[in-house]
Amino acid sequence: MAIADPEITLLDEPTSSLDYHSIKQLRELIGLWKSRGKTVIVSEHRLWFIWDLADRMLLFRNGLLKSEYGRKEMNRLFESELAKLGLRSVSAGGCDPSVPCHPEFLPGDSFYEIKDFYARNGGREYRIPQIRFAKGAITAITAPNGNGKSTLLHCLAGILKFRAEINTPSGSLSRKEFCRSWFMVFQDPNYQLCRETVEDELRISFPKETPKELVRIGISEILKDLELSGTEDRHPLSLSGGQKQRLAIGCAIASRRNQLLDEPTSGLDYTNMKALSILLKKLSAKKKITVIVVTHDVEFIYSCCNRHIQLAYKQS
């Protein structure tokens, strides 16, 4: 995190992909700059790490400065008022995600069991003797940066090769059968948005056999649920970071497949994080869709996940 020594530092969502300890390091660094009289401007959704360091908060809405708060006014804002303003909690997010929020697995769970997992990526070897994902549940996977979370999701989605035995209570699955049942939303959605318009991007994600009328209704529901109405004709890559992320999640929902979400809330404000939580809970409860979500976002884990796995590879 070395940086030159400028008078003013601008940070654009610096925590979006950072793990808990890196966020704490960043906080210390910002504190140090502040103590040396430097100016720091941070645009953020995750307020917990910066809340007590900040002297002013500017709230923008649709490109316009909506309101401004000095330290005294910030101290008077309760969590419920922050939520009404669409802002993240200043305390809930500040928990260490390496402390489990939920069990990994419950005795009555139906499951996907991956045994003797082995993969290689970037010259490293990854081994997991056994890992089980509860079917129809929303499982959070946490581990520090660089620990192979995305590698695991890429394997489960069939993007990276791996070896494993895959079992369910009703029998074993081939790797191909298993991988085909998942839709992956990448940590960086720029890699997966490839159509000319938002509407097209969603349309091609529905299962091929879906009747046209249901696709039309489905697209409009997803756009509404993800606060993307009005963007139908836009080029996906012209959207903001958070909008792209929501669109990629919309494609996963349209696919009706199980979902692998790699840090899906990194660009989302409180309102959109909550909306995503509600959608995922609905998908898992009503459609029995299994969701595996890699995240550093404890507020999100509490908001919708019901299983939690700390990912630890066996060293070889």
Ligand X SMILES: Nc1ncnc2c1ncn2[C@@H]1O[C@H](COP(=O)(O)OP(=O)(O)OP(=O)(O)O)[C@@H](O)[C@H]1O
**151 is in the binding site of which of Mg ion, ligand X, none (Cβ under 5 to 8 A by kind)?**
ligand X
What's the closest the beta carbon of residue 302 comes to ligand X, in angstroms? 20
Closer CB to Mg ion, residue 187 or residue 284? Answer: 187
Closer CB to Mg ion, residue 187 or residue 245? Answer: 187
**108 is in the binding site of which of ligand X, Mg ion, none (Cβ under 5 to 8 A by kind)?**
none
What's the closest the beta carbon of residue 262 comes to ligand X, in angstroms? 7
User: Shortest Cβ contact with ligand X: which residue?
Assistant: 122
The residues binding ligand X (CB under 6 A) are: 17, 19, 121-122, 124, 143, 145-151, 187
Any contact of residue 150 with Mg ion (CB under 5 A)? yes
**272 is in the binding site of which of ligand X, Mg ion, none (Cβ under 5 to 8 A by kind)?**
none
What's the closest the beta carbon of residue 143 comes to ligand X, in angstroms? 6
**181 is in the binding site of which of Mg ion, ligand X, none (Cβ under 5 to 8 A by kind)?**
none
Q: Return the closest-CA partner of residue 274 out of 45, 41, 12, 11.
A: 45
What's the closest the beta carbon of residue 121 comes to Mg ion, in angstroms? 11
**b/e code 226-236 from CB counts within 10 Å (16+ = b):** bebeebeebeb
- Residue ranges in 31-70 that form contacts with Mg ion under rule CB under 5 A: none
* Choices 116-124, 184-192, 216-224, 305-313 (CB under 5 A): range interacting with Mg ion: 184-192
Any contact of residue 151 with Mg ion (CB under 5 A)? no
Distances from the Cα of 1 to the Cα of 26, 275, 297, angstroms: 8, 33, 21
Any contact of residue 266 with Mg ion (CB under 5 A)? no
Angle at 154 between CA 315 and CA 240, to 5 degrees: 125
What's the closest the beta carbon of residue 277 comes to Mg ion, in angstroms? 20
What's the closest the beta carbon of residue 309 comes to ligand X, in angstroms? 13
Indicate if the alpha-carbon torsion angle 71, 37, 26, 190 is positive or negative: positive
**211 is in the binding site of which of Mg ion, ligand X, none (Cβ under 5 to 8 A by kind)?**
none
* Choices 7-15, 141-149, 214-222, 276-284 (CB under 5 A): range interacting with Mg ion: 141-149
Give long-range contacts, CB 8 A cutoff, 24+ apart: 222-228: 222/250, 222/253, 222/254, 223/198, 223/250, 225/275, 225/279, 226/250, 226/272, 226/275, 226/276, 226/279, 227/271, 227/272, 227/275, 228/198
Angle at 17 between CA 12 and CA 23, to 5 degrees: 80
* Choices 35-43, 109-117, 143-151, 213-221 (CB under 5 A): range interacting with Mg ion: 143-151
What's the closest the beta carbon of residue 151 comes to Mg ion, in angstroms? 8
**Distance of alpha carbon 297 from alpha carbon 312, whole angstroms:** 18
Distances from the Cα of 76 to the Cα of 69, 79, 85, 184, 295, angstroms: 10, 10, 14, 41, 30
What's the closest the beta carbon of residue 238 comes to ligand X, in angstroms? 25
Three-class secondary structure of residue 171 per DSSP: strand
**Distance of alpha carbon 207 from alpha carbon 213, whole angstroms:** 13
**Distance of alpha carbon 137 from alpha carbon 290, whole angstroms:** 5
| Residue numbers at the binding site for Mg ion (CB under 5 A) | 149-150, 187
